[in-house]
Amino acid sequence: MNRLHNHPLIDTLHQVKGNSRACLFTEPLWGIPFNLYAPFVTLYMYALGVKDQQIGLILTIGMALQVFTAALGGIITDKFGRRKVTFFIDLLAWSIPTLIWMLAQNFWWFLTAAIFNSLWHITNTSWQCLLVEDTPPHLLVNIYTWVNIAGLMAVFFAPLSTLLVDRFSLVPTVRILYLLAFVLMTAKFAILYAWSTETTQGTQRMAETKHQSLLSMILGYKKVFGKLIRSKEMRLALVISVILNITSISITNFFALYITRDVRIPEKYVALFPIGRAVIMLLFMFIIQPLTNRLHDRSVFLTGFGVYLASHVFLLLSRPDSQLMVIAYTLLEAVAFALVVPRRDALGAIFYDKEDRARVMSLVYVIMIAVSSPFGSILGFLSSIDRRLPFALNMLLFLLLAIVVATSKVLEKQVLEQET
């Protein structure tokens, strides 16, 4: 019991206070329902008549809209405060879309939901500020690890979705999961609003922008963009985030289609792969990650990208009616995610300008989405030709990331500083 109490992740839960505690402790109410329905999204769309290229088109339109919402995120967050923006935009970006998805009949329903859901980048900025502002920097890696663990808690509920699909078939089950998501997510937004307070930086920015027009604040992005471009540290965090965002499009949206249509794994077993992935990631985060926290960012990133590459090799070698290679992919991809994603998030929280965090993060999201948005259609087109092609593209991108990290002067300087 004492060893558990002394575990770095458990210690972090005792150390976080205020808004960080509120954000972490309410996150399962979003993460659990999201991860319950996420494995079935593309299959649900496909079952309702939405084809591969239409799925790609919805992704592209949604991401194109997110360019604008991400640009507004920092301005709205500064103008109206982290706490209020998080609450009201979450209702528009998640509560309303989950109801539309639940009732969806065809392509146009999913497109409408995607339009509302595109607002999530506004609340992503405000929630991130609420999470990390007023929080000691040395806790950030473990805090972002807990954010990911909160989503992984769905592992304890995911067998329910598998049983429901087997009993009631895919479409009725996913409709139930979307209803559950509406109830739990809306509860989460209300509890977080009641539990949290405005951050110190948020209060300051609200006062500074009180008499500024939205237009003048938009024009202020020119100065923020200059800061971002001139900073080697922020540029590095941006490049890593952009490329990883592109790779996640394939993993999130085309994995289920590939393994059910090409590898011929029954739909009712699709949710079992996220379950296995979550178990592996939880074990890794609790047992291995505290050891990796002592390592330099560069070595952790390079290891993670190498494991990502290996996972995709197994996926592409999968053969019809054989689950072994898909299981190997799931195991390795989970380890890679656990290595890379918390480290990427912490890197951004440390490197992004602290005095102008909301606008810097919004600009990062704008660039990230603008670069990523064409890939929704590109990946949909590639998938329509051969469902292995999106994952082959991922391998090239992971290799590019490894080159960027290996040659980074910023991370090399970090290594030298830590060694001295």
Q: Where are the alpha helices (DSSP H) in 284-408?
A: 289-292, 297-316, 324-351, 357-372, 374-385, 389-406
Closest CA to 299 of 245, 346, 340, 242: 340
Q: Is residue 381, in this structure, part of any structural domain at all? A: yes
Q: Is the dihedral of CA 31, 36, 37, 38 positive or negative?
A: positive
pLDDT in tens, 205-259: 899 888 888 788 888 778 888 888 888 888 898 899 999 999 998 888 889 889 9
Q: Is residue 9, in this structure, part of any structural domain at all? A: no
How many beta carbons lie within 10 A of that of residue 240, not counting itself? 22
Report the distance separating Cα 349 and Cα 362, nearest Å.
Answer: 13
Residue 58 phi/psi, 5-degree rounding, is: -60, -40
Q: Is residue 374, in this structure, part of any structural domain at all? A: yes
Q: Measuring CA to CA, how many Å separate 8 from each of 163, 258, 294?
A: 36, 38, 12
Report the distance separating Cα 333 and Cα 99, nearest Å.
Answer: 31
Q: Is residue 5, in this structure, part of any structural domain at all? A: no
Is the pLDDT at 415 greater than 70, yes or no?
no
Q: Is residue 163, in this structure, part of any structural domain at all? A: yes
Paired tokens of 122: 């506004």
Q: Is residue 8, in this structure, part of any structural domain at all? A: no
8 Å CB contact between 36 and 177: yes
**Number of structural domains in the chain:** 1
pLDDT in tens, 74-94: 889 999 999 999 999 999 999
Q: Is residue 2, in this structure, part of any structural domain at all? A: no
Domain that holds residue 336: 14-419
DSSP-derived letter for residue 211 is T
pLDDT in tens, 49-62: 998 889 889 988 98
CATH number at residue 267: 1.20.1250.20
8 Å CB contact between 316 and 391: yes
8 Å CB contact between 373 and 64: yes
pLDDT given at position 154: 65
